[in-house]
Structure 1
Amino acid sequence: MGHNLLEGKKGIIFGALDDQSMAWKVAEKAVEEGAKITLTNAPVALRMGQIQELADSLNAEVIPADATSEEDLENLLSKSMEILGGPVDFILHSIGMSVNVRKNKPYTELNYSWMEKTFDVSAISFHKVMQTAMKLNAVNEWGSILALSYIAAQRTFPDYSEMAESKALLESFARSFGYHWAVKNKVRVNTISQSPTMTTAGQGVKGFHEFFDYADKMSPLGNATADDCADYCITLFSDYTRMVTMQNLYHDGGFSSMGMNPAILDK
């Protein structure tokens, strides 16, 4: 049961693929809390996933958009404002992709053209979304922009490859763009550094299941689930966090503050 935390608010959710996606859970929670939303993903992802099922269940429209294309983003934002009746109050960027990871390229032998694609899809797209939205005045005052990150932006996780640098860039964009948007229109921009989560994308990373178990044991509260992440996103879309901006917020059961957990040694 919702608490109407987003009553009267409008938003755009990027990245829902299937019911394991964090963006899928956020979309469900946002509507449950009273928001009206549009959904978007790249055309190839729309063909692979089940986003239309989600849209039908939430009475939301799906607008295809390649987040690396400024033209597509302009169309997405313009159509969303038309459908929702004006500028939005929140946007979730839940996008990440590495061809090097998919093709099991060792970190010391990366294909640089693939790396550039990784950065464009996983991080630069975040800047493009914000720049386009600001240009179109597509976000209301005190709006909230979120992107999903990971602690590999700060620490070394060898199998995460150049996605680590992508997340570091993503977090830097939140700080830098967050300053400019706060000054211009009081819009806040943050990233959430989430626990390893059993999503379709996450499980594609080499050794993911072993690391998921390790992080779960290392974290005093255990790993935060996709549902937990959705709840946290809702609070950051709500008016209760109006003065939080330019932050990377750890949502990981305490993992980011741990050095060693005796539970690991006992095993």
Structure 2
Amino acid sequence: MSYNLLKGKKGIIFGALNEMSIAWKVAELAVEEGAEIVLTNTPVSIRMGTIDELAKKCNAEVIPADATNPKDLDELFTKSMEVLGGRVDFVLHSIGMSPNVRKGHSYDDLNYEYLKKTLDVSATSFHKVLQSAKKLDAINEWGSVVALSYAAAQRTMYEYNDMADAKAMLESIARSFGYIYGREKRVRVNTISQSPTVTTAGSGVKGFDSLIDFSERMSPLGNADAQECANFCITLFSDLTKKVTMQNLFHDGGFSSMGMSYRAMSQYNKSFKTCDDCE
């Protein structure tokens, strides 16, 4: 059911790769709610994924851009305004990647060149997106920019590795840039700390299935899935949240407020019945 929450609005969606992507779900729902959109990803991701199918479904143009390259971003915003017939109203940053995770480097044995790449792709790119948009005055007053984060920015999560540092930096950028963008242009900037979600990127984290199960047991409402995250994104793009900015908003079924749940404790106690020598 559509509520026309984004009727007449225009936006740019970063990071849709395939149907598993949160960005894919956001794009579909944004159009369903009345928006016109442009889709973007790196050229290699466009070749690897199925974004052309999404573009056809959403009647959207795909504009290749490397979010770590300021020149690409300037061209993206300029061309998007041409395609959409004016400034945009919302932007989704759904980008993250860690070479250290992909290569199996533990956090106490990082490759620092890989770390630079992790931070550039997963966090600094957010600053570059915001800086390019502000420089080109590409976002309308009361526009909304949202980036996807995770609770590892505040808590240590087993094997989340240097992506945790990137998420912490991402959230800091939202606060620092959000103040400037809000003060000068009335543009709001927020991050969503989403439940661990089955995506192509997330599945690369060691023990991800166990992490999802643990979060499910800990969260009183259970994990939020990709479609539910899309729903939340749409509310932040809409005029219903015009005064929400510089926030990291937890969308995790209550996980972030939990210490120990009954379900998690029950599973923990069961482990001792099958492991006499565990320490």
TM-score, normalising length: structure 1:
0.99
Structure 2 CA distance, aligned partners of 1:142 and 1:204?
Answer: 36
Paired residue for 2:137?
137
How many aligned residue pairs are there? 267
Q: C-alpha distance in 2, partners of 1:191/1:168?
A: 11
How far, CA to CA, are the matches of 1:237 and 1:93 in structure 2?
A: 12
Helix, strand or coil at the partner of 2:159: helix
Identity of aligned residues (%): 66
1:219-239 per-residue CA deviation (whole Å, 9 max, x = no partner) reads 000000000000000000000
Deviation at 1:87, TM superposition (A): 0.4
Give 1:258's aligned residue: 258
Between the aligned partners of 1:248 and 1:200, the Cα distance in structure 2 is: 23
Deviation, structure 1 residue 266: 1.6
Alpha-carbon distance between aligned partners in 2 of 1:75 and 1:131, rounded to the nearest angstrom = 13
CA distance in 2, matches of 1:266, 1:208: 21
What amino acid maps onto 1:224 in structure 2? A
Cα distance in structure 1, aligned partners of 2:93 and 2:161: 21
What is aligned with 1:16?
16
Q: 2:210 — aligned with what?
A: 210
1:174 aligns with 2:164: no
Distance 1:172 1:90 in 2: 20
Structure 2 residue ranges without an equivalent (≥5)? 268-279
Give the structure 2 partner of residue 223 of structure 1.
223
The answer as to whether partners of 1:107 and 1:158 remain within 8 angstroms in 2 is: no
**Cα drift, residue 264 of structure 1:** 1.2
Q: Which residue of 1 aligns with 2:276?
A: none
The 3-state SS of whatever aligns with 1:16 is coil
Offset, 1:119 = 0.3
- Letter of the structure 2 residue corresponding to residue 245 of structure 1: T
- What's the offset of the Cα at 1:262? 1.0
Contact 1:100–1:111 (Cα < 8 Å) also in 2: yes
CA RMSD of aligned residues (A): 0.5
Map of 1:6 onto structure 2: 6
Q: Which amino acid aligns with 2:63?
A: I
| Counterparts of 1:201 and 1:222, CA distance in 2 | 21
Q: 1:108 and 1:186 mapped to 2: Cα distance?
A: 42
Q: Distance in 2 between matches of 1:211 and 1:155?
A: 13
Aligned to 2:157: 157
Are 1:53 and 2:53 matched, yes or no?
Answer: yes
Could you say what secondary structure the match of 1:45 adopts?
helix
Question: For residue 228 of structure 1, what is the amino acid of its counterpart?
Answer: E
Relative to the length of structure 2, the TM-score reads: 0.95
Structure 2: how far apart are the matches of 1:120 and 1:59?
A: 31
Q: In the alignment, is residue 81 of structure 1 matched against residue 81 of structure 2?
A: yes
The list of structure 1 runs, each at least 4 consecutive aligned residues, that deviate by more than 2 angstroms after superposition, is none
Taking the aligned partners of 2:216 and 2:203, their CA distance within structure 1 comes to 15
Q: Which runs of 5+ in 1 are unaligned?
A: none
| TM-superposed deviation, 1:59 | 0.3
